[in-house]
Amino acid sequence: LVTIGNAHDDLIHDAVLDYYGKRLATCSSDKTIKIFEVDGETHKLVETLKGHDGPVWQVSWAHPKFGVILASCSYDGKVLIWKEENGVWSNIAEHGVHQASVNSISWAPSEYGAVLLCTSSDGKASVVEFLEDGSQKTMVFQAHAIGANAGSWAPPHKDNVKERRFVTGGCDNLVKIWKLDPQANNYIEEAVLSGHTDWVRDVAWSSSLLSKSYIATASQDRTVFIWTNESIGNHSGWKKQLLTADKFPDVCWRASWSPSGNVLAISSGDNRVTLWKESLTGKWESAGEVDQ
Amino acid sequence: MVKLKEVAETATFAWSHDSMPLMATGTLAGAMDDTFSNDSSLQFWDVLNKQQSLAKFSLESKFTSLAWSPSSEKYEKGLLAGSFENGSIQLWNPKLLLENSDLNAGSVAEYKKHTGSALQVKFNPLQSHILGSSGTKGEIYIWDSNKGSSFTPGQAMSPMDKVSSFSWNNSQSHIFASAGNTTYTSIWELKAKREVLQLSYSGANLSVVEWHPTESTKLVTASDTDGNPVILTWDLRKHTTPESILQGHRKGVLSLDWCKQDPSLLLSSGKDDSTILWNPLTGQKLCEYPSLPNWVHETKFAPKLPDVFASASFDKKILVQSLQDTSPPVSAKVNSANEDDFWNQLSSTDTQQPVFEVKQAPVWLQRPVSGTFGFGGKIVVVKKEQNKSVVEISSYKGSSTVKEAAEKLES
C-alpha cells in the first residue's frame, strides 16, 4: 500500500501507526524520529524530532485521550516524551533513571493514566507515571540479571483497575510476569517462565477479549513460545507451546498481536514477517506472510 | 561502565559459553601478592548472581592462562584448559568439577611436553577438540583432545623465544598466529606445516595478536613496548604495512579481545592500568574505562553475553563490568547541601567514570526487522534491504476476526 524508502540516514528499528492510522512514527540509528502523515496511498513527512544522543530503538503512541503524545527510547539511556499541539512538536518530558540503553517502551492501558513501562540493558525495568501537573512518579526494579530487552502490559482487569500486570523478557533467557502490589506501591515478580535457550528479544501480551491470557515471546534461539493461562494469578497456571516445531531460519526479533488478538506477527532476522493464527483445535497455524 | 562484580584474585580467567556465563579463575604465575603465597587455585564464579565462588580447587603450579570451549555432545559445559608455569597443560570437564568438587574426578587429560613454562592455551574456534599451546623457547604444540596426540606446527622462519600470545584464525581452522617478546608476529599454516608469513613494524614489539572475528585475512596486533604502545590492524593481502594504527594507550599493551558478535568492537588493556574500547574498523577510540590499580594483563568479552566483559589486574582484582554506562557524572550524583554529607557521599561514590567519545551501539541491539499491527487491519513492516531500511504499510487478511472470536467464546 504505502512504501517509504530513504526515510532515515541509517537503519530504522521501529515504525508504528497511531490509533487512527493517520500518523506514522519511525525511529533510527541516525538518532532521529520522523513523523509522517499517511492518507490512503500517500504519505508526507511532517516532522523530524531530534533530542536523543544515540540510536533510537522504539517509539510508542500514547492513547489519544492524553493528546498527541509519543514516547521514544534510545541507546543513550533516556526516554523522551514528545507532544504535538497546533502542529508544533516539542519535547515535554525526560525519563532518565536507566544506566544503559533503554530497549523498549510500552504505554499501559489508558485506564491506568499516562503510565509507561521501560526496559533497559542495565537489567532493570521502570514504570513511570506522568501526572497532569507535569511531575513524574517512578518505580525502578531489577527485572533480569543482565539486559531487559522487552516489556508488554496485560489488558486491564475488567473489575479491578488496581490488578495490573506486565511481562518482561531478558538476556537471562527468562520471561517474567510482574504484578502491582498496591500496598507496597511496587511491582513484584509473580511468575518466572523458562523455556528459551537464548536471549528473549520480545514479549507481547495479547489484548484479546477472550477469557484466556496469551503471551507471545520471541527469542534469539529462533523460537517463539505462546504462553497461555486460564486462571491468572496462579503461578503454575502458565502453559507453554511452541508456535511452530521447526525453528525459524534466523533470530526472532519481534512479536506483535493484532488489536483483536487473533493474529500474531513474528519478525525474524531473515527479513520476513510471518502471520500466525490459532486453529479451533488450539494449534498455531501459518496465516501467510506480509508482502505476498 | 556499570560495575557488576569484583573478584579479589590475581588470576587469569576464562568465560564459559553460556548466555548467563560462569567464570573460571586460576592463580596467575609471576605475580607475587602481599602474602608471598605460593598457593595456586582454580575457582568458579557465577559473577552475575552470587558473591562467593561456586567451587575452589588447590593445585601445585600456578596458571599462565585459561581457556573454555563451547559445549559439545561429549562435554555439556565444554572443556576447560589451563596452561601452567611448570609446563603442563591440564584439561578438565567443568561440569564434573562443579558437581563433585573433586579435581581428579573432573580431570580429562594432562599434557606434559613443554620443556619450560607453558604460556598460553587456546581452543580452536571451529574444531573445539583441537587446542594450541605456546611457551618459552619458541615451543608451540597442537593437541587433539579426542586422541590425546600432539604435533608441532613445523619450521619457524627465525628462532623464537617466549611465545606468549597465540590466536586461532576464526574462519580457517588450520591457520593461527603467534607472538611474543619480539618485533614480529608469525602466521602459521598447519597443512603446509610451516610459518608462512611474518608481520613487523619498526620501533615496536608485536607481542599480542588477535584475529578478526569473521574475515580470515585480517588481524590486529599490539605492542608491549612502553615507548610505542600501538595497536595495529592488518590485512595479510597487504602485509608489509598496517592498515591503521590505534593510539591511546600510554604504556605497553598486554591483551586484546575482538568481539565475536560485532567486528566494530575491540577491547585492549595494558601496563598503563587502563582498558580501552575501540572501533578497529574506523580506528576510533570509543571509550576508556576507569583504570585499575595495576597492570591490566587480560581483558575479555563474555562470549555469549558481550554486553559484559572482565579485566584482570595484577593487584588482586578482576573487574566485571558492562560495556555501557549512561549515568550522569559524579558531580551530579553527589549533590548534598550539607558539607559533611557531601564528603561522605563523595568518598562512597565511584569517582571514576568511563569517557565515551562516540555513541556507537553494538550490533546485537540493532533490530533489523519489525512488524507491528495498527488498527483497521493494517500492519507496518520495517525491513533491511542493502543496508537501508524500507517501511511498508499494508493490509492483512484478518477481517474475519470478530466472527472467529465469537465462535471461540461459544465453543
Q: How far is B385 from chain A (nearest CA, A)?
A: 9
pLDDT of B350 higher than 60: no
Cα-Cα-Cα-Cα dihedral sign, residues B38, B44, B47, B49: negative
At A193 the three-state DSSP class reads strand
A273 in contact with chain B, both atoms CB, cutoff 8 A: yes
**pLDDT tens string A94-143:** 999 999 999 999 999 999 999 999 999 999 999 999 998 989 999 999 99
Q: What is the pTM of this model?
A: 0.91
* pLDDT computed for residue B411 by the predictor: 43
Residues B103 and B57: their CA atoms lie apart, in Å, by 6
Residues B344 and A256: their CA atoms lie apart, in Å, by 49
Of B369, B388, B407, the CB nearest to A271: B369
Secondary structure of A52-120 in the HEC alphabet? CCCCEEEEEECCHHHCEEEEEEECCCCEEEEEEECCEEEEEEEECCCCCCEEEEEECCHHHCCEEEEEE
A26 in contact with chain B, both atoms CB, cutoff 8 A: yes
Nearest CA in chain B to A199: B19
Q: How far is B381 from chain A (nearest CA, A)?
A: 7
pLDDT of A15 higher than 70: yes
What grid cell was written down for A44?
508526507
**pLDDT tens string B36-56:** 778 899 999 998 888 889 999
Nearest CA in chain A to B327: A99
Contact between B308 and B266 under an 8 Å Cβ cutoff? The reply is no
Mutation pick from B19, B323, B387, B397 vs chain A, by most beta carbons of A within 10 Å, is: B19
Q: What's the full length of chain B, in residues?
A: 411
pLDDT of A167 higher than 70: yes
**For chain B, what percent of residues have pLDDT higher than 70?**
88
Higher confidence at residue A262 or residue A291? Answer: A262
Contact between B170 and B140 under an 8 Å Cβ cutoff? The reply is no
Q: How far is A7 from chain B (nearest CA, A)?
A: 8
Contact between B372 and A256 under an 8 Å Cβ cutoff? The reply is yes
Q: What is the ipTM of this complex?
A: 0.94
* pLDDT computed for residue B324 by the predictor: 87
Cβ pairs bridging A and B (under 8 Å): 216
Of A77, A103, A145, the CB nearest to B365: A103
Strands A213-219 and A200-205: antiparallel
Contacts of B390 in chain A (CB under 8 A): 3-5
Q: Which of B309, B310, B311 is nearest to B292 (CA)?
A: B311
pLDDT of A11 higher than 90: yes
Q: Which of B264, B187, B266, B268 is nearest to B230 (CA)?
A: B268
